[in-house]
């Protein structure tokens, strides 16, 4: 069990969750209500008031939550930073005890690899009916994702990303394979090789297989750019500060893989991670180069800072060769998606209407949001090249997230369904249950979707 979860038998104090609108009529002890009125507490969202006991010590705590459309299912994620040490239980206005418990657990996360983080021993007694095993699986998956994204590139390059994938495969009894360095050319992954060849740490394609081969094949593809300088189209230094997180797609793919494998999902799972550094050296690929792809399409390089779609394209082409039931790719791909939707809403692209509707429904239920953008076919012309089958960037610079998705779509055709997720994988500021730093996005919604579809 997680350290932040207290046994049901623990002596615990109540956290009375109340709304501003219903505080006057909430099921709160009268002594606590009178104290709150004297202290000026009225149930304001996010506010916490410790309530003293008549004999000394604490009787409990009042915690304000929002109601209706403004309600935050993750509001309880703020409690580990507000409550004093001890065991606590939630009472009152808790819309989803499951998500409240999850938010509480995720709110205790700290990245401590390089610096100790002080924390209080604040524990929660799980609300009745909450599946403790499912909670642990989810917290482990999110923690894995966050830890990978938070680790700087000097300690998390392609070899270390490979190590993380190998450890996950071993934990779940899967098979593991890595195609590294010059072998990428021998096995026909020319764009992965071209993007990563300038770095001291060799590029590679990482592969995990696990699950029953008789079950529907689900393939996850994660962009694993351990650091992105922009290549010869060099980023300014300010734009490089967060580029350790450019492998956030790979981290999320591994997080979802852990969720699926730890609950023994009825899928034949394959995970593909093209792991590279986009570095600058004499061997770096150049603007204007024409690259061959695994699928056979020739790609003119309009910008070396649009490298993620190149490595994904080779991996997607490999995934597509087996005609899986579903291919999902995760990538910190475009700034355009962040301009359109901001950091909290990953952009989702698919031509499968049922998949889009089901995913949106689960994203809402799981408080794991995303937003669908269109694969707008008329924009395909923006990727035209006069000397190659396609350019890797659009002419004019508009619709960047859509044209990036349209570029990837060229490399998928046999799969029954394909979903592309353009995510940020980062919290720019702390929110309840979501500390500042690396973040898992969409994987809880996808796990729920896949559980519904395949079991």
Q: Which of 309, 338, 431, 434 is catalytic?
A: 309
Determine the Cα–Cα distance for residues 281 and 446; give it in Å rounded to an integer: 39
Q: For residue 249, what is the DSSP state?
A: H
Determine the Cα–Cα distance for residues 425 and 343; give it in Å rounded to an integer: 8
Q: Is 294 a catalytic residue?
A: no
Q: Is 146 a catalytic residue?
A: no
Q: Which of 235, 263, 266, 372 is catalytic?
A: 235
Determine the Cα–Cα distance for residues 36 and 40; give it in Å rounded to an integer: 6
C-beta separation of 215 from 324 below 8 A: no
Which of 208, 210, 415, 436 is CA-nearest to residue 317? 415
Phi, psi of 195 (to 5 degrees): -70, -40
Determine the Cα–Cα distance for residues 163 and 18; give it in Å rounded to an integer: 46
User: Which is it for the CA torsion 286, 300, 342, 151, positive or negative?
Assistant: negative
Helices (H), 57-118: 97-107
Which of 127, 120, 123 is CA-nearest to residue 81? 120
Per DSSP, the residues of 383-401 read G--SSSSEESS-TTS-SHH
Q: Which two tokens stand for residue 265?
A: 């999902």
Determine the Cα–Cα distance for residues 260 and 421; give it in Å rounded to an integer: 18
User: Which is it for the CA torsion 117, 443, 219, 184, positive or negative?
Assistant: negative
Residues taking part in catalysis: 235, 309
């Amino acid at each position: 069990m997680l350290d932040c979860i207290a046994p049901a038998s623990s002596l615990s104090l109540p956290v009375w969750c109340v709304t501003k609108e219903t505080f006057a009529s909430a099921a709160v002890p009268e002594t606590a209500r009178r104290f709150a009125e004297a202290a000026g507490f009225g149930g304001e969202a996010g506010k916490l008031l410790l309530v003293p006991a008549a004999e000394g010590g604490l009787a409990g705590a009042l915690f304000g939550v929002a109601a209706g459309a403004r309600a935050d299912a993750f509001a309880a994620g703020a409690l580990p930073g507000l409550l004093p040490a001890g065991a606590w239980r939630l009472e009152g206005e808790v819309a989803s005890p499951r998500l409240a418990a999850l938010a509480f657990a995720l709110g205790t996360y700290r990245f401590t690899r390089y610096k100790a983080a002080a924390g209080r021993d604040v524990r929660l007694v799980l609300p009745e009916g909450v599946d403790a095993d499912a909670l642990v699986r989810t917290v482990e998956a999110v923690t894995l994702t966050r830890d990978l994204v938070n680790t700087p590139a000097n300690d998390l390059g392609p070899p270390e990303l490979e190590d993380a994938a190998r450890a996950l495969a071993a934990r779940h009894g899967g098979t593991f394979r890595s195609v590294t360095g010059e072998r990428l050319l021998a096995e026909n992954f020319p764009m992965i090789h071209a993007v990563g060849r300038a770095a001291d740490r060799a590029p590679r394609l990482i592969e995990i297989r696990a699950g029953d081969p008789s079950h529907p094949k689900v393939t996850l593809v994660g962009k694993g750019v351990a650091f992105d300088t922009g290549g010869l189209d060099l980023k300014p230094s300010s734009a490089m500060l967060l580029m350790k997180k450019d492998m956030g797609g790979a981290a999320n793919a591994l997080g979802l893989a852990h969720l699926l494998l730890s609950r023994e999902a009825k899928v034949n799972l394959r995970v593909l991670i093209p792991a590279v550094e986009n570095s600058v050296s004499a061997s770096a690929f150049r603007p204007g180069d024409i690259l061959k792809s695994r699928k056979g399409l020739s790609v003119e390089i309009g910008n070396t800072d649009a490298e993620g779609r190149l490595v994904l394209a080779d991996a997607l082409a490999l995934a597509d060769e087996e005609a899986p039931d579903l291919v999902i790719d995760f990538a910190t791909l475009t700034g355009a998606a962040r301009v359109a939707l901001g950091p909290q809403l990953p952009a989702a692209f698919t031509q499968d209407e049922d998949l889009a509707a089901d995913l949106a429904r689960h994203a809402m239920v799981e408080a794991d949001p995303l937003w669908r953008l269109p694969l707008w076919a008329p924009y395909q012309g923006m990727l035209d090249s006069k000397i190659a089958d396609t350019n890797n960037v659009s002419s004019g610079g508009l619709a960047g997230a859509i044209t990036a998705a349209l570029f990837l779509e060229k490399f998928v055709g046999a799969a029954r369904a394909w979903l592309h997720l353009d995510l940020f994988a980062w919290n720019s500021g702390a929110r309840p249950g979501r500390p500042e730093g690396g973040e898992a996005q969409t994987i809880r919604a996808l796990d729920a979707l896949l559980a519904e579809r395949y079991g």
